[in-house]
């Protein structure tokens, strides 16, 4: 089993290698792939040294599966070429997610829809993944009508650049002058964000669209409908970048068409694959990013009935965005084809 990891030197690519090793994926030959700038570097995987190659060289090595985490542009150019060579592609970028005929897969939710003919499979947005894992069986039982979600997303969602900005600001004790007129150029260093992130929250992830929402917010809207296979679900999202390294958190309000007892909601969450329900009586009464780091579960807590809306609940959802939100979900998809 030859496995290519495209973007192997990046933050998510490195995590993919970790997950492949941890889950004992049957890799007989690893093909680490990166840009020509990184070609020739050494990658160590399960005690063996592998040389990083270019995408063109990787295709000539005939991998069976390729895990892509190298950005939308790279995926748009190279994923079809890998697929044409008979290699199944699991892509972590946004390039193929809403593509016609391309499956958008979260194994716990819709993994059963994959077929042998699927050659390019899209990995959803990290914030969408953890939300649909938490809501999937509740939707099956009570039928989702509407979701209102606010996210609190780690700087690791911006890659190493986001981590570096937060680290540099924290070490320097930097304090930007806040004003409505502040511009990105006001920051005295190369930045991932237009404003200071340490000691701050930024209610913008990705660029703004004409409707006033950001691309990240509309990803959650559109991807949720596609993964759930239900265009009738109304979704409203607000996505926020927070000064946390590792782990996305979400405040989720879910309204259902059918009435429910809260005890049934809790029972179903406990039975949901990939979900770990936090109990107020336990040592960890609610999920936090600190506890989710390097874990693959989607942690759910603070579950309570919405007192202002019939047939609705509030809950708090946390997951490691580099693992279940990216690398682990991609490897799980690959496992479905073994």
How far is residue 325's CA from residue 338's CA, in Å, rounded to a whole number?
21
Q: What is the mean pLDDT of residues 149-167?
A: 96
Angle, nearest 10°, between helix axes 262-271 and 126-142? 130
User: Does residue 44 register a pLDDT over 90?
Assistant: yes
Q: What is the mean pLDDT of residues 232-258?
A: 98
Question: Could you give phi then psi for residue 87, rounded to 5 degrees?
Answer: -100, 130
> In terms of CATH architecture, what is 2-124+327-336?
3-Layer(aba) Sandwich (3.40)
Q: What's the CATH class of domain 128-321?
A: alpha beta
How far is residue 86's CA from residue 108's CA, in Å, rounded to a whole number?
26
Q: Which of the two residues, 185 and 288, has the higher pLDDT score? A: 288
Q: What pLDDT score was predicted for residue 186? A: 53
Q: What is the mean pLDDT of residues 157-165?
A: 95
Q: What is the mean pLDDT of residues 37-51?
A: 93
Q: What pLDDT score was predicted for residue 168? A: 95
User: Does residue 282 register a pLDDT over 80?
Assistant: no
Q: What pLDDT score was predicted for residue 184? A: 47
Instruction: Kindly indicate the confidence band of residue 22, based on its pLDDT and cuts at 50, 70 and 90.
Output: very high
The reply to whether 128-321 shares the fold of 2-124+327-336 is: no
Q: What is the mean pLDDT of residues 328-336?
A: 98
Q: What is the mean pLDDT of residues 249-259?
A: 98
Average pLDDT over the chain, rounded to an integer: 94
Instruction: Kindly indicate the confidence band of residue 142, based on its pLDDT and cuts at 50, 70 and 90.
Output: very high
Q: What pLDDT score was predicted for residue 38? A: 87
Catalytic residues: 126, 248
Question: pLDDT for 168-212, tens place per residue?
Answer: 999 988 665 555 455 444 565 679 999 999 999 999 999 999 999
Q: What pLDDT score was predicted for residue 36? A: 87
> Distance from CA of residue 52 to its chain's centroid?
25
Q: What pLDDT score was predicted for residue 326? A: 98
In this prediction the pTM is 0.94
How far is residue 130's CA from residue 182's CA, in Å, rounded to a whole number?
34
pLDDT-wise least confident of 36-40, 47-51, 233-237:
36-40
pLDDT-wise least confident of 23-27, 116-120, 171-175:
171-175
Angle, nearest 10°, between helix axes 328-336 and 11-22? 50
Q: What is the mean pLDDT of residues 150-171?
A: 96
Quickly count: other Cβ atoms within 10 Å of residue 15's Cβ. 23
Q: Are the C-beta atoms of 284 and 291 separated by less than 8 Å? A: yes
Q: Would you list the domain boundaries of the chain?
A: 2-124+327-336, 128-321
pLDDT-wise least confident of 61-65, 108-112, 232-236, 280-284:
280-284
**What does the block give as tokens for 202?**
């930024």
Question: pLDDT for 7-17, tens place per residue?
Answer: 999 999 999 99
> Distance from CA of residue 26 to its chain's centroid?
24
Q: What is the mean pLDDT of residues 116-134?
A: 98
Cross-strand partners of 103: 121
Q: What pLDDT score was predicted for residue 279? A: 80
Q: Are the C-beta atoms of 33 and 58 separated by less than 8 Å? A: yes
Q: What pLDDT score was predicted for residue 175? A: 64
Sorted by sequence, the CB contacts under 8 Å of residue 165 that are 6+ apart come out as 155, 158, 189, 191, 192, 193, 197
What spatial distance separates the first Cα and last Cα of the chain, rounded to whole Å? 9
3-state SS class at 163: helix
């Amino acid at each position: 089993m030859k496995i290519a990891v495209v973007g192997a030197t990046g933050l998510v690519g490195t995590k993919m290698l970790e997950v492949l090793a941890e889950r004992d994926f049957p890799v007989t030959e690893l093909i680490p792939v990166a840009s020509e700038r990184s070609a020739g570097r050494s990658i160590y995987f399960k005690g063996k040294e592998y040389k990083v190659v270019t995408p063109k060289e990787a295709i000539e090595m005939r991998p069976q599966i390729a895990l892509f985490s190298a950005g939308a542009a790279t995926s748009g150019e190279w994923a079809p070429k890998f697929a044409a060579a008979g290699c199944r592609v699991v892509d972590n970028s946004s390039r193929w997610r809403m593509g016609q005929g391309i499956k958008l897969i979260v194994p716990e939710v819709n993994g059963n829809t994959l077929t042998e003919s699927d050659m390019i499979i899209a990995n959803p947005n990290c914030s969408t993944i953890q939300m649909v894992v938490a809501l999937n069986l509740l939707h099956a039982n009570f039928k989702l009508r509407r979701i209102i979600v606010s996210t609190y997303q780690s700087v690791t969602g911006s890659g190493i650049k986001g981590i570096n900005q937060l680290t540099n600001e924290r070490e320097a004790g930097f304090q930007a002058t806040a004003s409505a007129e502040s511009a990105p150029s006001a920051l005295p260093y190369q930045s991932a964000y237009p404003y200071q992130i340490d000691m701050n929250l930024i209610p913008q992830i990705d660029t703004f669209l004409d409707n006033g929402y950001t691309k990240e917010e509309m990803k959650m809207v559109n991807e949720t409908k596609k993964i759930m296979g239900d265009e009738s679900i109304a979704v409203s999202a607000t996505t926020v970048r927070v000064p946390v390294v590792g782990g996305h958190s979400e405040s989720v309000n879910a309204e259902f068409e059918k009435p429910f007892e809260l005890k049934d909601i809790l029972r179903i969450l406990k039975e949901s694959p990939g979900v770990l329900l936090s109990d107020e009586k336990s040592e960890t009464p609610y999920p936090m990013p600190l506890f989710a780091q390097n874990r693959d579960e989607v942690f759910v807590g603070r579950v309570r009935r919405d007192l202002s809306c019939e047939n609705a609940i509030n809950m708090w959802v946390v997951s490691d965005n580099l693992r279940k939100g990216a690398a682990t979900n991609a490897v799980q998809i690959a496992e479905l084809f073994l």
